[in-house]
Each structure stands twice: as structure tokens, then as C-alpha cells.
Amino acid sequence: MKPMTTLWALVFVTLMVVSSLGGQETVSDDSGRPWTKFGIHTVGLRAGFDLERDGQALAGGSMDVGYLYSERLRFRLVGELGFAPSPNSYVGSFELAYRFTADSNVAIPYIGTGIALAGNELCGSIPGCPAVWWQFVLGFELRLNDRMNWLIEYHPQNALKRHRILVGIVMRGGES
């Protein structure tokens, strides 16, 4: 199967699994407050560029699909496609991000780490491609209105060997 076909199949399966979770509360502490909750909390779209090599243009998206212990510690699914100049590339990652303030604040800085699957359109001829990367995220959201925030993210990827800057918008669902 071609790498891009595999990527789209992975995105489809992920969306189907996440949509079936639908905000289920799973486990509570003694106070009755849930310490883990799954469901789509935010959806974000972003664009940017890779600071390495030839400055590849990027487009991507993210979903906060759950939290752990607090609404500030989030599980995130992130996908990025790189293009212009070739070879086209892709990164799909699972991240755990800590938001330093609540969603109700005007400014929300956050930091996180995760694991990613990365490759490009030449993966069939390159040994070790696709590869598993360890990565970080450092971001900042600024309130646009009650349900939307602007965002800027710095993504050092592949154990700090690649660096990406992304700007976009994040949309929150029902219970922020």
C-alpha cells in the first residue's frame, strides 16, 4: 500500500474510533469528579513551514480527544502534511499537552510531548521510512471569541532535529 493511502486509512480509522467515544466519562476519584474523559473537545486547523532544509510548507489539523486528571492535561491527535518543495511529507502524532490556564482565559500557553509516525512520498525507497519520532510542542492560544482561539505552535520534532512553526485556529465544542 502507498504511504499516503496508509495515512488516509489511519486518519479514517482514528476518526471513526474517536467519534464513537463521544464524551464518555470513564473513571472518577472519591469526590465523584471524573479524572479521565474522552471525546472531541477541540478541533484545530493550522498552516506553517518547516525551518529545516528547504522550508517546506505545511498544513495540518488537531483534535483534543480527552483529558487526564484535569481539563488542562489533554490527549491530542495531530496530523501535518508537507508540500512545496517535494518530496511531500506527512506526520501523524499522539501528544499529551498541559495547558497552563483554563480555556476560559484570554491567553492559554501550553507545552507537551508525544510520539509520531513520519514519512514522505519516497518512503518505499528509503530505509527506515516511515519512522517513529519523539517530539515536543510549545504553543499559545489567544481568544478570538467564546468558541474559537488563534494559535501559534512551535513543534520541535524527531528528538529536536526538525523544527516547525504553525499558525491557525482552534474551535471548542459544547462544554468549555
Query: The whole model's pTM is what?
Result: 0.76
Domain ranges, residue 108 = 3-172
Domain count, the chain: 1
User: Over the stretch 29-83, which tens digit does the pLDDT of each residue have?
Assistant: 445 555 788 888 899 999 999 998 778 999 999 999 998 888 899 999 999 999 9
Per-position b or e across 122-152, b if 16+ CB within 10 A of its CB: ebeeeeeebeebebbbebebeeeeeeebebe
User: Over the stretch 98-143, which tens digit does the pLDDT of each residue have?
Assistant: 999 998 899 999 999 999 999 988 888 888 899 999 999 999 999 9
Nearest alpha carbon to residue 163 among 52, 8, 31: 52
Q: What is the CATH number of the domain that holds 124?
A: 2.40.160.20
